């Protein structure tokens, strides 16, 4: 363990050679024993180890060496995260193919040896007449030859047995060598894992068969049949590898969201230089290069638009199917797809600093983080293999002592002991929770939600109260036009604007003089005009009036957009405008007045508007039994106005950041499970204090770091889906654990022979291996069902 005063760093190492939960426990133990390590979390699904350590005490190189000394492979993290993810995906695909091919080789060998070993079943009778075909052949021979035939037959069958033994050992060496190598590696490091159980079972079968082939008379003289089990050994190993192959293929599907993200990176880019446009590999791209992105092309890198206008498909990032309009100053994310326009954009981030790389890192970290429910499975898995070995030894002893139905006990004893070793499945326990976490985080990612791992999923399943920040969360976070009120008998001359309604004509005039301004209120007026597709007249001699507004000339007539106070200094406001201003300002809106040719013409009310998704989200949460609370530092009148429109009954207004934390803690003290939704620096403490923190990606980095869930698009409708997904994921975890535990609790006693007095037949080791493979695959398939979540 590191000293408390030491600064801790975190590193994620790729780890190879792990096959079950026992392997995970061994690697974690090896890392935690290393001086300077504060914590280590190993993931069987991502084949990685995340380690917190003090660099003053140890180094990543030392951690890699610690893993290698424990009998597994490890490497330093690769620099290019996206390339590393693609390499991992390719390696997993190769692993799955290799396992299936080797399994089919062994199972094919099982079928051949099953037929080839049939003559051996008659050899123990001691004469050729045990085989009807050989008996008929013998009757046709003269007496001396007939007398020598049993010895010749026995010699032939023994040679056949030796040939089958050599062939079986060769098949095992080619197809299942990794099982024995990993078992030996675990033994050298004083450990055990699933490979230990399978290797012991296979070696027992091979040993019995070899003894039967080489010393058949010893068994016959002691009343036992010299049976061989070559097909059983090959079947055990074949079905185990087939199960691992199918599991690897299914596990690859659980990481499909990661693979999809990593595949988004473009391979080439087009840049503009002094000599003209140039096409180059993506690895040669540099920050500040000017990209040229043509219609339909994938954006090569994170960048900022400097020229052009287009719509960009960002579905891969946000889950939003509608293209997003991009103009000068807009941010582009590498991997998104350009629409119909040509864009020129300046590169702002590359490699591991890109948005996609950060999402991949977040998802990899999330999928490695354990749900609390997994800790019980980890404790059971740590003692599982040694316990099974003890049970197998007890089974062997019991069968040797008691036998069954008077039959010789040695053969049946080994059968039962091998079946116990093979049927036990620590993999199912180890995969029960991580597979569900991986699928759930992948489903969330495809819908524009980044979950921080299994712990966030488990906590999300119990949420019954959600606290919403107001500004930037329930509301859009910037002013928008909410109302246009015309002065009594006002009219805008058609010489300045096209023939449209008076309200739109007033907005067009105001937007014309505000067009060049970057003030938030000015942008709100211009955006409102653009959303109505209004054609703006040309404004000249535009100048800002500090503290008052802006003025200019439109078609040789003076036009001003002023604050209420500045407007009243020019001319009294008509009663209709005064009443509208009082009404809107009471709800927190800001009002500006259009002065046309020296007279108040219209009033514009601008406010931080409620998000379109806010009210439906609150209603959906209420239907699901989740209470909504609003928390804001804004004035109570404004807060209650927004809360009423959103459908929220409980409001905490005029709160400081410290007060927000206290509100969250007070709700938790009442026994409630609280989620906090926010987007700003002043929300970070409350996000951290809540049982579940939810941040909008449009918010600050501080808010996102403090959160457990990040919404990649500002759509609150994703929140009920996240809670529903969390509940479905937790149910899947519990179902998987119940199945994994129930399978072992039932299968191991059956393999030991508790049903033999009833059915008269013990479990075959081959059937045991098939059952073990099925148990692991079924857990993964159960988790994949989560992908259908709606």
The string of DSSP codes covering 77-119 is PPS-HHHHHHHHHHHHHHHHHHHHHHHHHHHHHHHHHHHHTTT
How far, CA to CA in Å, does 740 sit from each of 85, 103, 345?
Answer: 30, 23, 53
What's the whole-number mean pLDDT along residues 126-147?
A: 49
> Model confidence at 713, in pLDDT bands (50, 70, 90)?
confident
Res 79: pLDDT? 62
> Model confidence at 126, in pLDDT bands (50, 70, 90)?
very low
> Model confidence at 699, in pLDDT bands (50, 70, 90)?
very low
Task: Say yes or no to pLDDT of 623 above 90.
Answer: yes
494/537 Cα distance (integer angstroms): 11
Rounded to the nearest 10 degrees, the angle between the axes of helix 230-254 and helix 194-214 is 160
> Average pLDDT of the chain?
80
230/224 Cα distance (integer angstroms): 18
More confident residue, 87 or 366: 87
Stretch (H or E) spanning 338: strand 337-338
Percent of the chain with pLDDT over 70: 82
Stretch (H or E) spanning 195: helix 194-214
Which residues have a catalytic role annotated?
A: 469
25/39 Cα distance (integer angstroms): 13
More confident residue, 206 or 357: 206
pLDDT in tens, 285-301: 888 899 999 988 889 88
> In what order do the strands lie in the sheet containing 268-273?
276-281, 268-273, 290-293, 343-349, 302-307, 331-332
What is the full DSSP assignment across 295-329? TTPBP-SEEEEEE--EEEE-HHHH---S-EEE-TT
486/600 Cα distance (integer angstroms): 9
Res 103: pLDDT? 87
């Amino acid at each position: 363990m590191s000293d408390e005063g030491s600064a801790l760093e975190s590193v994620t190492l790729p780890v190879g050679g792990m096959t079950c939960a026992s392997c995970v426990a061994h690697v974690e133990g090896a890392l935690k024993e290393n001086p300077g390590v504060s914590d280590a979390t190993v993931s069987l699904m991502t084949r990685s180890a995340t380690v917190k350590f003090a660099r003053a005490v140890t180094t990543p190189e030392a951690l890699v060496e610690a893993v290698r000394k424990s009998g597994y492979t490890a490497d330093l993290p690769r620099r290019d995260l996206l390339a590393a993810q693609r390499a991992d995906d390719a390696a997993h695909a190769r692993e799955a193919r290799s396992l299936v091919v080797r399994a089919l080789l062994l199972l094919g060998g099982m079928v051949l040896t099953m037929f080839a070993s049939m003559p051996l079943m008659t050899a123990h009778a001691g004469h050729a007449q045990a085989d009807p075909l050989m008996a008929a052949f013998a009757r046709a021979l003269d007496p001396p030859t007939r007398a020598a035939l049993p010895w010749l037959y026995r010699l032939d069958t023994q040679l056949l047995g030796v040939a089958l033994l050599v062939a079986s050992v060769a098949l095992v060496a080619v197809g299942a060598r990794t099982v024995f190598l990993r078992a030996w590696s675990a033994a050298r490091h004083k450990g055990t894992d699933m490979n230990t159980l399978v290797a012991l079972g296979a070696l027992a079968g091979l040993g019995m068969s070899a003894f039967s082939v080489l010393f058949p008379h010893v068994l016959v003289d002691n009343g036992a049949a010299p049976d061989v089990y070559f097909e059983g050994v090959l079947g055990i190993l074949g079905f185990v590898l087939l199960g691992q192959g199918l599991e690897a293929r299914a596990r690859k599907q659980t990481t499909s969201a990661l693979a999809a993200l990593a595949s988004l990176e473009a391979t080439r880019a087009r840049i503009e230089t002094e000599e003209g446009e140039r096409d180059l590999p993506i690895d040669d791209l540099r920050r500040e290069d000017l990209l040229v992105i043509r219609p339909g092309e994938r954006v090569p890198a994170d960048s900022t638009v400097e020229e052009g206008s287009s719509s960009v498909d960002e579905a891969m990032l946000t889950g939003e199917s509608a293209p997003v309009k991009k103009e000068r100053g807009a941010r582009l994310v590498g991997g998104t797809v350009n629409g119909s326009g040509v864009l020129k954009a300046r590169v702002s981030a590359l490699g591991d600093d890109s948005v996609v790389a950060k999402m991949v890192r977040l998802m990899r970290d999330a999928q490695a983080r354990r749900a609390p429910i997994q800790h019980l499975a980890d404790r059971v898995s740590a003692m599982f293999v040694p316990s099974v070995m003890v049970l197998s030894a007890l089974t062997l002893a019991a069968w040797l002592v008691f036998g069954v139905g008077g039959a010789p006990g040695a053969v049946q004893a080994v059968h039962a002991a091998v079946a116990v070793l093979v049927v036990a499945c620590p993999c199912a326990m180890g995969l029960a929770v991580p597979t569900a976490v991986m699928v759930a985080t992948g489903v969330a990612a495809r819908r524009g939600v980044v979950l921080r791992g299994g712990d966030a999923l488990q906590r999300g399943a119990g949420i019954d109260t959600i606290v919403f920040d107001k500004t930037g969360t329930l509301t859009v976070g910037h002013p928008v036009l909410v109302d246009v009120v015309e002065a009594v008998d006002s009219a805008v001359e058609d010489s300045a604007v096209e023939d449209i309604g008076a309200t739109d004509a007033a907005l067009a005039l105001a937007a014309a003089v505000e067009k060049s301004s970057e003030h938030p209120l000015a942008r709100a007026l211009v955006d409102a005009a653009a959303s109505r597709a209004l054609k703006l007249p040309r404004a000249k001699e535009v100048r800002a009036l500090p503290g008052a507004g802006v003025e200019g000339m439109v078609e040789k007539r003076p036009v001003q957009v002023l604050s209420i106070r500045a407007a009243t200094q020019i001319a009294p406001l008509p009663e209709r405008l005064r009443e509208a201003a009082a009404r809107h300002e009471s709800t927190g809106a800001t009002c500006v007045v259009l002065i046309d040719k020296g007279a108040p013409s219209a009033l514009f009310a601008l406010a931080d508007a409620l998000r379109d998704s806010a009210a439906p989200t609150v209603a959906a949460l209420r239907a699901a039994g989740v209470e909504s609370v609003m928390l804001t530092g804004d004035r109570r009148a404004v807060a209650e106005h927004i809360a009423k429109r959103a459908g929220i009954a409980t409001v905490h207004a005029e709160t400081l950041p410290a007060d927000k934390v206290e509100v969250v803690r007070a709700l938790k003290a009442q026994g409630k499970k609280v989620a906090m939704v926010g987007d700003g620096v002043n929300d970070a403490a409350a996000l951290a204090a809540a049982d579940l923190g939810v941040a909008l990606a449009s918010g600050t980095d501080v808010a996102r770091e403090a959160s457990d869930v990040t919404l990649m698009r500002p759509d609150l409708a994703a929140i009920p889906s996240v809670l529903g997904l969390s509940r479905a994921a937790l149910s899947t975890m519990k179902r998987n654990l119940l199945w994994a535990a129930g399978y072992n609790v039932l299968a191991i006693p059956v393999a030991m022979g508790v049903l033999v007095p009833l059915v008269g037949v013990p479990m075959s080791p081959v059937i045991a291996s098939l059952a073990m493979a099925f148990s692991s695959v079924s857990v993964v398939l159960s988790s994949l069902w989560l992908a259908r979540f709606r």
